[in-house]
Amino acid sequence: MKILFFVSSMHAGGAERVAATLASAWAQRGDQVTLVPSYTKKGSLFYPLDSGVRLTWLADRMGWLGKTWFASIAKWFAMRRLIKETRPDVVISFLTNVNVMVLLAARGLDVPTIVCERTNPSVSSSAGKALVWLRRHTYPWASLVTVQSQDSVTPFQEMVPAIRRMTVIPNPLPPELAEPVTVRDAPGPGRRRLVAMGRLMPVKRFEPLIKAFATFAEDFPEWDLYIWGDGPLRPALISVVQGAGLEERVFLPGRTSSPWEELAVADVFVLASEVEGFPNVLLEAMALGLACVTVDCPSGPREISRDGKDALLVPLGDDQALAGAMVQLMTDPVLRGVLGRHAAQSVRDRYALSEILHQWDGLIASVQQPKSQEVEA
């Protein structure tokens, strides 16, 4: 099978990691995969790819027009030429802005297209008015639109009512995390770590997380908070840490190329986001056997945690409950061990790469058959 896979970039990020995982898995089993980062400034490859994946930077095919006001037109021509040259069995696209351009470029070429939303569109503000308008008018051209969680289906159907087919497909676990891991059942020597990860931006709610930690930090002098990631809020978050007098207890070490190693030395993982498309880092922390605290934000945490059975699930915006859940895990090593073991087994069963690839096979096969007019639940 020939798969033409468009993404925005291959910088560090959840969508990029999933793209690398899927493309590599398809190539390893013998599919012909062309992965196309469409970012006009090109950038670099952050995640490793299987040697069988053909990596094509769209910027290299846009010429000098890609650096002018005509970049969007140049991108359209470059995408359309690539689709014609590749003659794929299916085109797959990640992220709203890429999806819209791919649908415009593929219009009239009679190639099945699957476009994938990577956040919950009904609560995300990442798409401006023009992109929202374009999405509403181009997504009905897609053979299939996917979202990452069940609670995105109804609101997105209301936003783009003319979509022909829509379904849910979650992200897979990276194959490196598919095997069981050893979980610590009792405290060991040294300091303890609460860990969070993500881009340092308001939607991740790291400032409320730091303030929640500050409410009990004095009572737990052996515990520190590490927030991995980078972004525009770094100066503001450093000021919050300094204002709370927690410079030696709260750390912002920046972006890491080895997130699993950092998670593996943690004791508790915390997700405090206002909204997620599908929180890969929560899934990965659970797979590593970490006891987790997560807010019940749209979308993903409730499904991943099985309604709070495999992680402590707290209401969004209730920072007192967030602090209480962290304290509960910090004071109970037995609960940490039990919750971590259950979490690891649960997500490995449900989100194994082989299982998600099987679901993708079904979706790809379905768009190569007569199209259904029904929206799938």
**Mean pLDDT across the chain, nearest whole number?**
90
In which residue are the tokens 């972006």 written? Answer: 255
Note the pLDDT tens digit of each residue in 18-66: 999 999 999 999 999 999 999 888 778 888 899 999 999 999 998 766 6
Specify the pLDDT at position 373: 47
Specify the pLDDT at position 237: 98
Tally Cβ neighbours within 10 Å of residue 345: 15
Specify the pLDDT at position 10: 87
Cite the DSSP H helix spans in the chain.
14-28, 59-62, 71-86, 96-106, 129-138, 153-159, 206-216, 234-243, 259-264, 280-287, 301-304, 319-330, 333-351, 353-367
> Which band of pLDDT confidence, cut at 50, 70 and 90, is reported for residue 374?
very low
Specify the pLDDT at position 68: 64
Q: Is 282 helix (H, G, I), strand (E, B) or coil?
A: helix
Residue 220 and residue 282 in contact, taking contact as beta carbons nearer than 8 Å? no
Q: Give the Å distances, CA to CA, from 231 to 49, 213, 253, 287.
A: 25, 21, 12, 26
Q: Six-digit token pair at 248?
A: 């030696």
Note the pLDDT tens digit of each residue in 186-216: 445 689 999 999 999 999 999 999 999 999 9
Characterize 271-280 residue by residue with b for buried, 16 or more Cβ atoms within 10 angstroms of its Cβ, and e for exposed.
bbbbbbbbbb
> Above 80 in pLDDT, residue 310?
yes
* Rounded (10°) angle between helices 333-351 and 353-367: 30
Ranges 102-116, 164-178, 241-255: which has the least confidence: 164-178
Note the pLDDT tens digit of each residue in 229-248: 999 999 999 999 999 999 99
Domains and CATH numbers, the chain: 2-172+353-367 (3.40.50.2000), 176-351 (3.40.50.2000)
> Above 50 in pLDDT, residue 185?
no
| Interatomic CA distance for residues 276 and 110, integer angstroms | 33
| Interatomic CA distance for residues 49 and 95, integer angstroms | 20
In which residue are the tokens 């509403």 written? Answer: 136
Q: Six-digit token pair at 20?
A: 């690398």
Note the pLDDT tens digit of each residue in 23-32: 999 999 999 9
> Above 50 in pLDDT, residue 180?
yes
Note the pLDDT tens digit of each residue in 136-175: 999 999 999 999 988 888 888 888 999 989 999 999 998 8
Size of the chain in residues? 377
> Which band of pLDDT confidence, cut at 50, 70 and 90, is reported for residue 13?
confident
For residue 174, the Cα-to-chain-centroid distance in whole angstroms is: 12
The proportion of the chain whose per-residue pLDDT surpasses 70, expressed as a percent, equals: 92
Ranges 8-22, 262-276, 346-360: which has the least confidence: 8-22
* DSSP classification of residue 180: -
| Interatomic CA distance for residues 165 and 146, integer angstroms | 8
Specify the pLDDT at position 186: 44
In which residue are the tokens 């690891």 written? Answer: 344
